[in-house]
Amino acid sequence: MINVTYTASDGTVYNLMASMAMRIKTANFHESEWKATTTSRKFGVRVNGWAKEAKSFNMSILFRGSKAKRVSALNQFHASIDRDIIYNTPGILAWGDWHITAFIHSTSTYPSDKQDLETINDVTVLCPSPFWVSEQTVIVDPAGDTSLRPTDIQFNPSYTYPYSYQRSAEYPRIYIDHYAPCDFRAKIYGPVSSVHLQIGNADLSVSKAVPAGAYMIIDTREHLKPEEHCYMVFGSTVTNCFNDRDPSASLLEKLDPGFARIRYDRTTRLELTIFKERSEPEWTA
Amino acid sequence: MDSLIYLTESLMEIGPCSSDIDFDTGHPDKSTNDFLMRGVLPEGVGGIYVPGTEFGGLIEYIQTSNTSEVVTNKGYTWRGLLDQGVIEPPSGENYKIVSGDANAVIRSILSSFLGGLFYVPEEASGITITNYQFARYCTILDGLTDMLAEKDAKLTIQAVKPSAGAPIRVQVSAAPAVTIGDKYSAEYPVDMTYTENSMGITHLICLGQGELKDRTRIDLYVGANGEITDTPYYTGINDRTATFDYSSAQSESELRKYGIRRLNELKPGKTIGINDAEVDGDVGDHVYGYMNGMSTTVTIVQKILTISGGIWTYESKIEGDT
């Protein structure tokens, strides 16, 4: 059975497939539509590109149990989704390994006509970004251990990279199992005098020292604020480092799917999270 | 990958911008050379740019209202800022006259302009300017554009990040104009229009300094092949005359120069229009088109970049379009 949850922005997790208390009655997560942007031609149109609107769908949730339990569950759930709207901070709807940011902005609650122990709550969900996301995390640490499966790691001793690496003989390779370029977040721990990191063809070099106890984040995701794409955290101090990028490093390019070598000196820990996006969550057998 | 990046007032990068924006840049007579962006600016933003291009500038106009949530931000493009300065004749001289490699000339003009915002590369452009006389008190953009057009060259502007941690640099230089040929023809899937226009002016009376009968007068004519001459070619029903009033012309040569430019705009002729959106190239480059057995070369005078909803659309305007 696929696990389906809604995590409100206050952190409360609602299990929407709990066999008793709360369970989805009907919902269709597997519907999507691309819209073409076109130029009219003598015959038909020329397709210039494709876009997607925000995703919206209906979901019917069944609340079960004693009246007191249902009232309590409904009140808590509605307080959470109301809070998301009031603060304009979306919750996260998860379907198995895939999740999407969502606002539940319309609800209608009424008793089930079948049993006295059931209450039905019909809701409408708005997903500002119309893509479902699955995360793949890779850790490269100074001890040489990685979270990569053995088959993912390959070595290329002959490669010469224009930086002086202590362990230049070992560059792990990851496999990005997707059909489209992926956003990612890299977390580089200090101490390093300067960040020299390349993943596949993406140059992520930032000429900024990261002291011991600090870390730098490089994040390509579009919905972030301008200052959240490259910054350093040291205690309670957050410093925007975007201007310290090397001119050749865009810091905003997605990673191509397939094999990608991580060229990094591995003197400190690196955590890499890859965000795979799909129009619909992936089916599992 | 193209990206739009916020800048501080000191031209340091802050991070990417996802707002909708319209840039309009090009020939000073054809473009507004500014940009318009809607949305609330993050703290500390003073400018915006697309690395490696001339699309960018300083945000110098912010409009908010208590009746609407829309915030309007505007500014001149880098090219537009060149229109905010004047080339003055040296003290005691009537005109500023320059000679040398075009980049050296541009460097001398821009050396003290806007606190050194613009950078001109040390490399020679290979375009030699000889005794070029700027119009009196013309804008820097007008002056440099006209100077280079006479050499079939263009003004290239590019904002680049020279090194990590440094402010961006707005690089201005001269380059030969390029003709993009063989691409725009009936065989190429591009929308084209062919125009045979006989409604133009064939005789221009240019009037300069002076009063009444003493005004300086130059008569210019359109020749058999569309060239501008001093001798009438079109007569009878085809003799169409207009006047060009330029009383501030400081000399006969200046009156002639601007009269020729005006008559070239007014004269009859055959033209090919090419769907602007399809045209590649920079402002000042030429586009070669072929249609109905006729070929023509037109100049790109305007480039527009529109970013809306994350979709980037580039558009070019060519000479003669309205």
pLDDT in single tens digits along all 285 residues of chain A: 788 999 999 999 999 988 778 999 999 999 999 999 888 887 899 888 888 899 999 999 999 989 899 999 999 999 999 999 999 999 999 999 999 999 999 999 998 887 678 899 999 999 999 999 999 888 887 765 555 443 344 333 333 333 333 444 467 888 898 999 999 999 999 999 999 999 988 899 999 999 999 999 999 998 899 999 999 999 999 999 999 999 988 888 999 999 888 888 778 889 999 999 999 999 877
Cis peptide upstream of residue A191 (ω within 30 degrees of 0): yes
Cα distance between residue A81 and residue A104, in whole Å: 6
The class of domain A4-130 in CATH terms is mainly beta
What local confidence, expressed as pLDDT, does residue A153 receive? 40
CB contact A246 to B (< 8 Å): yes
CB contact A230 to B (< 8 Å): yes
CB contact A44 to B (< 8 Å): no
Flag if A226 and B160 touch (Cβ within 8 Å).
Answer: no
- Taking CA–CA distances from A226, the nearest residue in chain B reads B15
* Residue pair B14/B64 in contact by the 8 Å Cβ criterion: no
Q: What is the DSSP letter of A159?
A: -
**Which residue among B1, B6, B165 sits closest to A252, beta carbon to beta carbon?**
B1
Burial class (CB in 10 A: 0-12, 13-18, 19+), A228: middle
What local confidence, expressed as pLDDT, does residue B239 receive? 92
For the stretch B285-297, pLDDT in tens is 888 777 777 777 7
- Give CATH for domain A133-278: 2.60.120.880
**Which residue among B6, B12, B165 sits closest to A207, beta carbon to beta carbon?**
B165
**SS3 for A150?**
helix
What local confidence, expressed as pLDDT, does residue A162 receive? 35
CB contact B52 to A (< 8 Å): no
| Optimal mutation site among A210, A221, A243, interface B, most CBs of chain B within 10 A | A243
**Chain B residues near residue A208 by CB distance under 8 angstroms:** 164-165
Cα distance between residue B261 and residue A107, in whole Å: 68
3-state secondary structure A219-270: ECCCCCCHHHCEEEEECCEEEECHHHECCCCCCCCCECCEEEEEEECCCCCE
**Pick from B104, B95, B36, B118: which is nearest to B71 by CA?**
B36
CB contact B48 to A (< 8 Å): no
Percent of chain B with pLDDT over 90: 59
What local confidence, expressed as pLDDT, does residue B297 receive? 78
Instruction: For residue B123, give Cα distances in angstroms to A67, A99, B100, B174.
Output: 82, 54, 13, 10
**Which residue among A226, A228, A244 sits closest to B17, beta carbon to beta carbon?**
A226
| Per-window interface: B 272-311 vs A, CB < 8 A | 277, 309-311
Q: What is the DSSP letter of A42?
A: S
What local confidence, expressed as pLDDT, does residue A164 receive? 34
What local confidence, expressed as pLDDT, does residue A163 receive? 34
What local confidence, expressed as pLDDT, does residue B182 receive? 63
Distance of CA B273 to the CA centre of its chain: 19
Cα distance between residue B154 and residue B106, in whole Å: 12
A:B CB pairs within 8 Å: 60
Q: Where are the domains of chain A?
A: 4-130, 133-278
Per-residue pLDDT of chain B (322 residues; tens, 9 = 90+): 679 999 999 999 999 998 999 999 998 888 899 999 998 898 899 999 999 999 999 999 998 888 777 889 999 999 999 999 999 999 999 889 999 999 999 999 999 888 888 999 999 999 999 999 998 899 999 999 999 999 999 999 999 999 999 999 999 999 999 988 666 665 665 667 777 788 899 999 999 999 999 999 999 999 988 889 999 999 999 999 999 999 988 888 889 988 998 998 899 877 666 665 566 788 998 887 777 777 777 788 888 899 988 888 888 877 755 4
Which two three-digit tokens encode residue A88?
A: 């304009």
Flag if A245 and B13 touch (Cβ within 8 Å).
Answer: yes
Flag if B165 and A230 touch (Cβ within 8 Å).
Answer: no
Q: Does the reported pTM lie above 0.90?
A: no
Which two three-digit tokens encode residue A130?
A: 């119309």
Q: ipTM score of the complex?
A: 0.78
B5: which residues sit within 8 A by CB, 6+ positions away?
A242, B13, B14, B15, B16, B17, B48, B49, B50, B51
